[in-house]
Structure 1
Amino acid sequence: MEKVAIYCRLSEEDRNKKFETDDSNSIQNQKAMLLEYSIEQGWEVYNIYSDDNYTGSDRNRPEFVRLLEDAKARKFDIILCKSQSRFTRELELVERYINGLFPIWGIRFVSLVDNADTANKGNKKSRQINGLVNEWYLEDMSENIRSVLTNRRKNGFHIGAFALYGYKKDPDQKGHLIIDEEAAAVVREVFTLFSQGYGKTAIARMLNDRGVPNPTEYKRLHGLRYQQPKRKNSTLWKYSAISDMLVNEIYIGNMVQGKYGSISYKTKQNKPRPKETWYCVEGTHEPIIERDLWDRVQAMVASRAKPFDVGSIGLFARKVRCANCGYTMRSSKNRGRHYLQCSNRHVAKDACIGSFISVEKLENMVIQELNALSRTYLDQDELERNVQFSQNLEQQKANWMESKARLQKQLEDNRTYLRTLYMDKVKGIVSEEDYISMADSFAADRERMEQQIKEADHRLDELEAQMQAGDQRKELIQRYTNVEHLTREMVEILIDYIIVGKRIPGTHEVPIEIHWNF
């Protein structure tokens, strides 16, 4: 018996669930329909994969990912869905899996509602059209949602998943914020302390010494929605939390949104947006901070801000992280020398080991490793191996170009033979029936050769990219061989990030780990 894997998906919030762990009615209906069909076909059900409350554009659906892993391992013969859109709404995934990898893995894809079946060679175009329509649907839906959200932002409605610390969502009015008095008291204290001359790090330490939970921990303790922290010491107040709070206009009753925007409707990644594109509406909710206190704090923040000049950015700014807590190390200056230190070392007792290194020492260590790397890479033996590698790529490129030329010649011959065959049919030399049969054969050969030519073009592009990447790597190292000093431009080009540990006791050695961009 052939083994079938059943896949079900529902993207909308299910109103009929009694418990969150229950399957939705729609999922249950999908399962019942697909199980019945499997029994009718005489298939053995290997497993049922079910994703509830996931969109068709989400590539990280847990059961979807497990289904693909099991398909690759050939644990079943058939994938059965209610419709192709239940599997995916992305044309790219339709081509990659349904029309590409599944046939290679020996997996048949079947969907009931839209009659998609990879065992039927004749409906490949209909599957592609379904994929294209689903892709358009995703894009249109994304634009519609974006339009609705933009309109709500412009009208001052809060649309975020989480309320800002000091506020909570109004249960009686959607999109409205009300004051959370317990958290608001801390916000007022932070503004007051800063206006009295306390620094941001000092304020963070005072709150930590008293055991005041930071915004994330406060929300967790009170059962409120919050973003899961990714780093250690997530319960502590940090310099950055105080700094962000002191300039957030939401605390004076203005709704400010749209600071970040999505890159594409196909990904959840966001990027910062220019300040002039933010949505700011005044007087949308009750303020926590009075206007006169706000104005005093803003004046003090502005007076303490260091003026930015071209070239004044630190050599390793935003590039160095603490080995213990993972936070970005901050710069400081003492007696004319510049240092980098962990931003957590002063916020609370035993918050971090306190990684510390002078910029001069770190620069020398980076230069030393860079020069050693360049000597290793530019070693004569290594260069000879690299030349052989490049020659191998050149040979592969020549082989593929020869193969492509041969296929193009065969394709042109195919067209010539077909024209000759047509003229023979017109002259009565070949019967209509024989013409149709041979024409179909020519068409199949032509489709196969066109596909092989596309594959050759793809492979040639890959080889060209590999050859260019190899050259760029060598040029990059050669450009910075035997350097004596680093510039910010060099750091940006060469270094992804650097991990700095604590000084080894009894020595002056500080362990570092450099993550290069090449």
Structure 2
Amino acid sequence: MQNLHRTGLYLRLSRDDEKCGESMSIENQRAILQKYVLENGGTIAGEYVDDGWSGTDFERPGIQRLLNDAKNGNLDTIVVKDLSRFGRNYIQVGQYIDYIFPAYGIRFIALSDNVDTADRGSAGMDMMPIMNVFNEWHAANTSKKIRAVLDANWRAGKYTNWAYPYGYKADTDDKRTARIDEPAAKVVRRIFDMRLQGYSARTIAKALTDEGIPNPTAYYTRLDGKKSERRASPYWSPKTVTEILKDTTYIGTLTQHRTARVSYKNHKAANVPENEHVVRKNAHVPIVSLDVWEKVQEINRSVSRGRTDKQNAVHPLSGLLVCADCGKKLKRKTSARSRKKPCNTYECRTYTDLGKKYCTSHSIPEKQIESLVLQDIRSLLGDRKFDEEKEKRCFLQYMAKHGAQNRNADEKQRRAFKNRLAELDRLIQSAFEEKVLGDLPENVCKNLCEKYQTEKVATEAALAEIEQRLAEKNEDDADAMRYLAECRRFSNCEDLTREMCLQLIEFITIGESPTDNAPREIHIYYKFNSCPDNKK
């Protein structure tokens, strides 16, 4: 036997290997390899360990250090407990053992598999390609089982993500239900309140940063409820605020399977299409009400973005005024006619940016247009012009149309799930019968039944969710009443507010001031059905 000069010991343990007990532990591998090298008169040049890494991933830090030392001529021999410790990607394992290591004059030994590149004629070397294929098959099969278990957990409403959204932490129940983390939840509620008042994501982020409130990365809640110790910038960004404002987690909806690995070989995370997300409503206590969340989404969809002034305030009609001729938004300007009484006006952005050659000013005083809009809202919502019965009827028709579509889809899916469950029961029964008759080996029967049972659990959970959704009481009438109450609330307002404008107005077109005595064209487009209303 050749001497084991400058031997590198490689040890690896994945999360799944931990279930195999002490025989696969890092300590056991170390003892076996050290004993072998010392008994054969070798010298240990280095030890390379990857604890908790998959064998399909060759970007492991330990294996990379081992390969670098081998290529730099620091090792003569590499010893592992078995081939699967080195890797479970049969193409890459074969490349290293058959081509790369021999090119550098490195001997490779896998003890349990009797593989030794110094003896190319051994039975272990003959069987090595088959063992490498089997090792990769094992990784692929394990990946399928893990995905099936994850899918069953998602359908059952069990929280499986590695971290909880800002404002929540882990509860102590079996499902790891998200529990409100009150200090962070207060910040989340404030973000939604500020957005309702018309503040932009940038303004909200700046306000939170100025007050020294740590952002979610700095205040992260892990599954065990402990705060993250990783270093991160404490500053808020507009992107972080925007993600919070559109996250359905805050209304009690649990959405999982948003990302997935490309394959068991490629561990890069990729976004999953929205129709493949696993969504479970009423999974935990919401931080904000559904009413507030829907209002914020409506504001986010609005044509108005709004700009803040030097006092960090957003004016009621900012971003809602549109030039009737060129279609550009009107820009708010302050002109100091006198030091005590500056005059604020809105002017066409094309005119202010490019000049009168491309569009006229369409200038209108801020107080004038705000007074006009407030008067029109009071008139519209405070008298019989606002037909509540008509608005309620339109609202219910809209909800019925979309509700019917959703119900039909759910009914179709429910029938498909029931048919599949019946089929799975037949398949399980058939497998047992074939096993009893001796037509099906016991191990094959066991694998088939495990596969069918896993699918059955996931299907039953999905069916229960659909049936719960179909059984829920129709609340469209109550939603319509809340919608009308919101409209009535604004009819008694004394001042025009940003919230009022965003809730009621889609946009306002401003015509140019006529040179004669003709009335000026100003059209207010409301978000409910009674408009557009013309105000002259």
Q: TM-score, normalised by structure 1?
A: 0.54
Instruction: Report if the CA contact (8 A) 2:165-2:221 is conserved.
Output: no
Deviation at 1:302, TM superposition (A): 2.0
Relative to 1, partners in 2 of residues 1:24 and 1:121: Cα closer, same or farther, differing over 3 Å?
closer
Between the aligned partners of 2:289 and 2:206, the Cα distance in structure 1 is 25
Q: Any idea what the Cα deviations from partners look like across 1:437-464, whole Å, max 9, x if unmatched?
A: xxxxxxxxxxxxxxxxxxxxxxxxxxxx
What amino acid sits opposite 2:29 in the alignment? Answer: Q
Between the aligned partners of 2:288 and 2:74, the Cα distance in structure 1 is 61
1:191 aligns with 2:192: yes
1:6 aligns with 2:9: yes
What amino acid sits opposite 2:239 in the alignment? Answer: S
Between the aligned partners of 2:220 and 2:169, the Cα distance in structure 1 is 10
What amino acid sits opposite 1:140 in the alignment? Answer: N
Write out aligned runs for 1:218-237 (5 A). 218-219=219-220, 223-225=226-228, 234-237=233-236
Tell me the residue number matched to 2:161.
Answer: 160
Aligned residues with identical type, % of pairs:
36
Tell me the residue number matched to 2:64.
Answer: 65
What amino acid sits opposite 1:130 in the alignment? Answer: M
Relative to 1, partners in 2 of residues 1:15 and 1:140: Cα closer, same or farther, differing over 3 Å?
closer
Instruction: Report if the CA contact (8 A) 1:27-1:52 is conserved.
Output: yes
Relative to 1, partners in 2 of residues 1:144 and 1:74: Cα closer, same or farther, differing over 3 Å?
same
Tell me the residue number matched to 1:286.
Answer: 285
Deviation at 1:227, TM superposition (A): 7.7
Tell me the residue number matched to 2:253.
Answer: 254
Deviation at 1:73, TM superposition (A): 1.5
SS, match of residue 50 in structure 2? strand
Deviation at 1:226, TM superposition (A): 7.8
CA RMSD of aligned residues (A): 2.8
1:116 aligns with 2:108: no
Between the aligned partners of 2:269 and 2:94, the Cα distance in structure 1 is 27
Q: Any idea what the Cα deviations from partners look like across 1:326-365, whole Å, max 9, x if unmatched?
A: xxxxxxx965899xxxxxxxxxxxxxxxxxxxxxxxxxxx
Between the aligned partners of 1:258 and 1:36, the Cα distance in structure 2 is 46
SS, match of residue 302 in structure 2? helix
Q: Any idea what the Cα deviations from partners look like across 1:438-495, whole Å, max 9, x if unmatched?
A: xxxxxxxxxxxxxxxxxxxxxxxxxxxxxxxxxxxxxxxxxxxxxxxxxxxxxxxxxx
Q: Any idea what the Cα deviations from partners look like across 1:284-311, whole Å, max 9, x if unmatched?
A: 11110112211211222222489xxxxx
What amino acid sits opposite 2:274 in the alignment? Answer: K
Tell me the residue number matched to 2:322.
Answer: none
1:52 aligns with 2:51: yes
1:297 aligns with 2:296: yes
Q: Any idea what the Cα deviations from partners look like across 1:102-161, whole Å, max 9, x if unmatched?
A: 011111111111111112223444111111111111111111111111221222222111
Relative to 1, partners in 2 of residues 1:168 and 1:271: Cα closer, same or farther, differing over 3 Å?
same
Relative to 1, partners in 2 of residues 1:303 and 1:120: Cα closer, same or farther, differing over 3 Å?
same
1:30 aligns with 2:29: yes
Instruction: Report if the CA contact (8 A) 1:5-1:49 is conserved.
Output: yes
Between the aligned partners of 1:336 and 1:96, the Cα distance in structure 2 is 68
Relative to 1, partners in 2 of residues 1:334 and 1:244: Cα closer, same or farther, differing over 3 Å?
farther
Structure 2 gap segments, 5+ residues each: 306-347, 354-536
Deviation at 1:25, TM superposition (A): 8.7
SS, match of residue 263 in structure 2? coil
Q: Any idea what the Cα deviations from partners look like across 1:50-85, whole Å, max 9, x if unmatched?
A: 222222122222221111111112222211111011
Instruction: Report if the CA contact (8 A) 1:14-1:24 is conserved.
Output: no
SS, match of residue 136 in structure 1? helix
Tell me the residue number matched to 1:274.
Answer: 273
SS, match of residue 51 in structure 1? strand
Deviation at 1:24, TM superposition (A): 11
Between the aligned partners of 1:208 and 1:295, the Cα distance in structure 2 is 26
Between the aligned partners of 1:148 and 1:336, the Cα distance in structure 2 is 62
Instruction: Report if the CA contact (8 A) 2:255-2:280 is conserved.
Output: yes
Between the aligned partners of 1:58 and 1:33, the Cα distance in structure 2 is 24
Between the aligned partners of 2:9 and 2:162, the Cα distance in structure 1 is 33
Relative to 1, partners in 2 of residues 1:132 and 1:296: Cα closer, same or farther, differing over 3 Å?
same
Q: TM-score, normalised by structure 2?
A: 0.53
What amino acid sits opposite 1:89 in the alignment? Answer: R
Relative to 1, partners in 2 of residues 1:304 and 1:241: Cα closer, same or farther, differing over 3 Å?
farther
Structure 1 gap segments, 5+ residues each: 17-22, 307-332, 339-518
